[in-house]
Structure 1
Amino acid sequence: MSLKNSSPMQDSTARRRVHRVAQDDPLAQPLLAELALEYSNRYGGGVGEMHTALREHPATAFAAPDGALLVVTEDTVPVAGGAFQRYDAETAELKRIWTAREHRRRGLGQFVVEQLELEIARRGYRRVYLTTGWRQPEAVALYLATGYTARYDASVPAAQIGPHPFEKYLAAGEWGETA
């Protein structure tokens, strides 16, 4: 798999790299394929429909200067990723947080969120917003563990809430810094 179209950022782990990629980059394809399968299994609908919907999201939404799509590789194998897009002038919206099924429970989801937040801060956003589905308790746990505030009443059954909104304000001084 060629990495020439990506813009890698080296992590302290020798085998782990973070790549800024376009939505149609080969590194992003496992992310889209597995998310389509996951969403189909959890919410119904065909895998093909879900995959098409993910691929038809405007690629420009995840492109600079307003967004990014990051893929984490270990020994050139995509293992996790996520994206953000502009929500409003001060807010980025997280999208498509993914960890490959065989690499879960290793902290990669948290690593992806941290990497996205660093990129979001570099772009000058002050707040991060996201929604996750009511049938994704693992995602809810991830966002709570990484400091996000739930913007819904947790005492209401998840299916009645629908998409679960979260937000996080970046600390003063984090945003607008350049790498």
Structure 2
Amino acid sequence: MSEIDIRPARFTSPEVQLLVADALGDLSQRYGGTGDDTPIALDDFEAPSGAFFGAYLGEALVGCAGWRAHGEDAELKRMYTSPSVRGRGVARRLLAAVEESARAEGRKRMILETGDRQPEAIALYTSSGYERIEDFGYYKGQDGVLSYARTL
């Protein structure tokens, strides 16, 4: 099987938007509703206050993740890998690319919001050095919300 290539991607591109729709579908199955109602502007992932990355298997987009400014922090958003490539380290490589990008833009900490019905995401974040913090985002105060941070 071909090697996975992590590279910058435009959040507004049709291929990224299709994968984001898959991610939201996955979240919807886990939590109901639309999956995630967090407001995201199409330009949230533009430098210098954000970046977005894709994981490609050949020319096929099989994963994505980005960061956007959240005060002085960088907030991880839209982390997703297609079921066909799970278990191959794609999410860990995406996370590393996002963290490096945020660090290069002077961000000192990565924060994120996830939920208690995403055990694989929780395992990735905790094994990558993320620690629980006070809930901060759109879902602050709601049942099942888990917020994490890691110093970059």
Normalising TM by the smaller chain, what interval?
0.7 to 0.9
Long gaps (5+) in structure 1: 1-13, 153-159, 171-179
Deviation at 1:81, TM superposition (A): 1.1
TM-score (norm 1): 0.73
SS in 2 for 1:59: coil
Quote the RMSD (CA, aligned, Å): 2.1
TM-score (norm 2): 0.85
1:72 pairs with 35, 55, 71, which one? 55
Looking at structure 2, the residues matched to 162 and 73 of structure 1 have their Cα atoms a distance apart, in angstroms, of 32
SS in 2 for 1:166: strand
Question: How many equivalent pairs are there?
Answer: 144
Looking at structure 2, the residues matched to 106 and 16 of structure 1 have their Cα atoms a distance apart, in angstroms, of 9
Change (3 A) 1:73 1:110: same
Kindly provide the amino acid, as one letter, of the partner of residue 16 in structure 2: A
Deviations 1:84-116 (A, max 9, x none): 100112x10001111101111111111110111
Deviation at 1:161, TM superposition (A): 4.8
Deviation at 1:17, TM superposition (A): 2.4
Looking at structure 2, the residues matched to 138 and 95 of structure 1 have their Cα atoms a distance apart, in angstroms, of 16
Kindly provide the amino acid, as one letter, of the partner of residue 82 in structure 1: A
Kindly provide the amino acid, as one letter, of the partner of residue 111 in structure 1: R
Bigger radius of gyration:
1
User: What percent identity do the matched residue pairs reach?
Assistant: 30
More strand by share: 2
Q: Contact 2:6–2:93 (CA<8 Å) still a contact in 1?
A: no
Looking at structure 2, the residues matched to 161 and 87 of structure 1 have their Cα atoms a distance apart, in angstroms, of 22
Name the structure 1 match of 2:109: 127
Looking at structure 1, the residues matched to 143 and 87 of structure 2 have their Cα atoms a distance apart, in angstroms, of 26
Higher relative contact order (CA 8 A, sep 6+): 2
Name the structure 1 match of 2:11: 23
Looking at structure 2, the residues matched to 103 and 66 of structure 1 have their Cα atoms a distance apart, in angstroms, of 29
Q: Contact 2:130–2:150 (CA<8 Å) still a contact in 1?
A: yes
Long gaps (5+) in structure 2: 135-141
Segments of 4+ in structure 1 off by > 6 A? none
- The within-5 A match list for 1:41-120 is 41-45=29-33, 49-50=34-35, 57-89=40-72, 91-120=73-102
Name the structure 1 match of 2:131: 149
Q: Contact 2:4–2:90 (CA<8 Å) still a contact in 1?
A: no
Q: Contact 2:131–2:150 (CA<8 Å) still a contact in 1?
A: yes
